[in-house]
Structure 1
Amino acid sequence: MAEQYRIGGFFIDLSRNQITQNMQSQVVAPKALAVLTYLAENQGKVVSHDALLEKVWQDTVVSTNTLQRSIAQLRKALGDDGKVQVYIKTHAKQGYSLECDVQWPDNANSTSADSISINTMEEKVVDENRADENYAKESKTNEGVTKKSDISAAISGTNTVLHTATNTATTSVTHSADRSISTRSDLRLIAIIFGLVILGIIGYQYLPAQQPSQLTFGKLRALTSTDNKELASIYSPDGEYVVFHRYSEEFCINNVWAKNTQTQQEFQLTKNLDSYGSHSFSQDGKNLVFIKTGGCSNPNTQKKCYKLMNLDFNKALVSPQSPSVLMECNNSEIRSPKWLNNDNIVLLQKFSDRWKLISYSVSENKSQDLYALDDGNIIDYDYSVKDGLIALTSFHNDGYYYIEVLKADGQVLSSHRIKYPQEIANFRLVYPNFTPIKNKLIFSTGKQLFTLSYDGQVTNISLSIDEAMGTPTFHPDGDRMIVIKGHYDSDIASVPLSQITSVQTTKIQSEPNKSFSVVQRSILGEDKAKLQPNGELIAFSSERSGEEQLWVTDGNGSQQLTHFPMDTYLSGLDWAADGKSILVNANYALTQVHLDSTQKTFPLEYAVVRLFQWDSKNNSALVLIRIKGVLKFAELNLTNFKIHIIKEETVSWALKSEDGQLIYKDHMDRFWQPGPAEDKLIEALNGQGSAKQGFVIKDNVIYGINDDFQLWSYALNEELFTIIGALPRNVDNLTDINQTQVLMTVRISSNKEVAELYLRE
């Protein structure tokens, strides 16, 4: 199969997973390009769904939704909107066809000189520093030793220089005989240079292999492509395996898996865990540790308990194993374990909303503190097995983010403020990992990759991707890294209140797609729908334009109100009482957006992590803010920017009723009301809180969803609790309600997959 071909005005390069037009390249998932290539090989013919699935996803069980996502990616890259279908045409209940000319490499004679020039230019754009790709591949060896062919190539190149110089000298002689002595001097100089080149080439083979001076990426290879969620991936110390969590939404089952990167064989390592923690190998590769989270039988200060688990990796490759417990935490949260070279395990532990770095001794079964900030907080860290160093990001009491480099015993070697470039929002958290380049780390903000130096300098890595990639972690050889790619497709749906109360639970949950009407639909995330006060509009967030933006709809058409930059994250929105503007929390800052798209961003000193509610009449907002790294529940005055701290602890959701009663939900999903002496627990709602976004208050009545996907209500003044009825099991969030309908976010598909991104040679 050809590695490169052309479709219309697009240049397809399978070796780099790129589609290029007018010098602009897009990285496209390998499976999607495989679909395009198979359609190109059958240009003009209808290719069935089954044929595409069998060809592209051989020996893998996937649904037609996976194929549809690939088609959607291709249409986006080719500029098709799915309706006009200029390139890829849908044939109902049959399949797809490619409806444009395809130019393969063996058609070079019919290819215009212009297209050849475009191909050549595309190669230069991809890597200006690489003069000859074949030569670069040939000269790379494991010990960094130069081959005979390298020397021959260099001699050939020098002969070319000599030949050119000789021609130049000859021309000079013909112009003036008096310059013959100068010409001979030039030739002697060229001979000396030639000798130096040969000596340099001979000496080069005795030099050690050099680390790359910069990171440039090329090929993207998918390692997993299922309808499940694969995450928290790492390499084994020898680089032979990738280990990851695989969670099935359908069966609510989570397990640790391993995949051989060469044979592609997969191994289930555990049996049905409730676990999402990251992994770490012992240095000999025999043991694997991770965090298991689960419900506490006797909850005290937290809803979930945390256990540090150990798994015998070699035994688990033979058959699934039950991991053993190394350390259990019932009143504190732990995360991110990493095995040190001294056989201790370092991890983060949380007390009273502050994180500290601790070291756990497996042999002595005890831990000790390594690093903590009294007036700040730790964000994240990574450990370098090669250098024996810890790189740690944190908040300091001056309100800025810092990068610290520590020894394994906690001794601080350096501490520098992180200097954010324009491409990163001021309050964005970063989670960097070590790279093969000395003193450089790497992190992702979604669709962008950056390096972070030990002295706090951040540099953008030029990489064009159309899907978010997270947690970049390098292979032990340093030639590639593993990333997690995600796809989330949700719709905004409306359900009549009368239908919820009348339809049987089993029917509405067994046929979820028939139990609601879709208000807004795309192949990406739609969320946070809010009804306009005294109007017909609905405000919502959507990723349909490539980035999460604020939109409004009147039920017939939709309008995009904002154009926030790449990797924007929206966390909360609310209408003004007059329905003429919307307050949105974008990139940890509050922005008031009017219906004519004019905007006003409020200059705040602290990061707004979540917007709960906007009281436009009093110009105040209920928010979750981060002060010196610690989350606090507060009311923010948007006129004078004064902050009133309501609670020092984190809350998951909060609203005020129409008569001014404040209701909030804590981290254990319990509902509270402030009292004169102490806050009062709403006992009637015990067990009704869930991990869903929160609750809605209308006419002094609270509405929420419990873990059984039941819609319930609680009248504040009458203290009356009622189960209204069942909701579809794919409901992700309850977003708004009125006298006749319920607005909610329903999940269509949600998956994460593991991929490898290779360094360019």
Structure 2
Amino acid sequence: MDVFYLNQIFIDPSRNQIFHGDECLLIEPKAMTLLCVFAQQPNKVLSQEVLFEAVWQNRIFSPSSLQRLITLLRKALKDDPKAAQFIHTHAKRGYSLEVQPVFVEHLRSDKANKQKQQTENTVLKAPFYVLPKPLWVIALGLLLIVGFSVFFLSNTNPNVRKLNKPVALTHTANNESMPKLSLNAQQLLFLRETGSRFELALKAMEKESEYSLLTQNKAFEFAWSNNTTVVLTHIEPNSGNNHLKLLTLADNQVMSERIIKVPSHITDLRALQTGHDNTLYMLATETKLINARNLLVAFKEQTTEFKTLSVLPEDTYVQDLAVANNALYFTATKSHSIQQLLKYDLGTANLKIIKNDLASIYHVAWDYLRNQLILSDTLKAGVFSLSAQQLNKTKQQSEMKLLPFNFESPSPLSQIQVTKNAVFGTTFQQNIDIASNNATLTHVNSKYEDYQASVSPSGKHLAFVSHKHGRPMLFVKGKKGVATIFDNPHQHDFISRAIWSSHSNEFAFAVGGQVYLYDLTNKQLTHIESDEHIVRVDYWQNNTNQLIATTKQLNTAAIIELDTKTVWPFTQQGTVLYKDEDQQIIWQNDTLENLAKLKTWQPEQGEIVHAFSVKGLILAHVRNANESNLFILKTNLEVQESTVLPTNVQFISSAFFEPTKDNLVYFYSHWRNQDADIVKSDNYQN
């Protein structure tokens, strides 16, 4: 989408940036997507369903997710919700953008039209193409020569700036991050997170073998001091004092360990980097000052001396640090919004801002061979460079341009390291697991996004969606393993949660606007053709053998007759949770309603994350600022039971009652903070 203005606020969707004059704010991609949806339909009320489909394609429905993005946008636009100027809330209807966006492309068109009008009012001169024939031939010949020269030079340039698509060096379902190459680039250290344990692992660059050096209960940072010594941070459990551990390595294991005490006023050691003279540089926090400040600290192993090089400016958070021959470079965020590149000169002890208008948050590494700084965009895939000559010039900051590489990667790189012909880094991706409150059941925990868990009424089968091959696919897990049910050949973005029959032998789901039935006994997938665009299947009414589904059309549902395979649309607000001959219960916003008995239920505080029915009972997952709760309600919407949920339960999607114990077993999606892998991008050329 083109850049545009909202009043005096400049919006750049491609970079997820919002400018208030010289102030630049970065927002998350989904928030920018939502803002663009509003900008395409200004002064129009857009329902939650429409906004969810535009931003998430109904992937996992949670009203709180949309409200969180609305809050982020209002904060970024500096819009007071009590006297909203930009985004208005329309109770029980949706949201609207009440400012007409002005797109830059339109401004250019208006300017061009004015110039054209001015030109038409002036005296017309002979156009350039009215030339004698000999001059035409000469001009055409020169044009061909110039074009051929440009093409030839651009395609024979041996110094094409290119990075190949990153290849994973780690292949487990755990988080692997913080790659650190030895000074001779022969060995690679990295951190592996397994549950609540943190492991320091060693990998030889030319071999597949990995070696575990140590494991701790708390995260730590580390760096090579030389090719056989590793330095890592350590906090004493009893005293809370900070230490450095020096590990001597031989034969891929720790041979000896030495503890170095850190001065008591220095805490929170991070971003450890080693210079060519084996000096260890790091960031720390100074606790003696009235307001705690970030420090730049140097440590020498030979003397075990800690030296404070500089106190960093207030309200500045350093993102990453790189060590050059005679300087330290680091990227930082000032006042939570301004992205900076700073330089500390090791010779003059001078700290200065090199660039005050970085377009994103970058991680950095110094390329000693080519004498340049490499910057990797951590928000979107992009790698750039700044030469030492550029960095040492005293010209205006705005004139310093980052030179891009042709980088073939779908994901950004963080925590980068540079060798002669490769760039190493960490790729972070969202990872969603499926778990339950019954520890004896096998759960779904892969390197992919696994969600939309739907357990059969018998509890013997679990249908779920997983991004195994870069697209959502539907699987069923049983005693015999995992079977692929729908491989999504047309690569639709969304597969709805499976809805089971009461006999546990069939389930229905929607994808690409169509409904499918799967028979476990016959292992047969049946497509139900319909002119209605079905978004999701909501309920299987067994006594009449009907499905009730939500359609793409606003406030419209559909009844799907399974015996005749016919589809009947009808007007319906909200999602149908339960239906029999006498009553129908729906969920709309944060309200459950029994339409026949004219009863409603709302949580006293918090929002309904998800609601569904199990054996004639209604289950509602409610989340507030402090905790999450699971409410079990009767069909008359009286609360039968409520339970406080563990903190890692983020989206309860289905449940069943164990037949022998009558215990409720629920399945939920668990968003891990990140799924990280160490990767290598070779063919690094300048």
* Length-normalised TM-score, structure 1: 0.39
* Length-normalised TM-score, structure 2: 0.43
Q: Which has the higher helix share?
A: 1
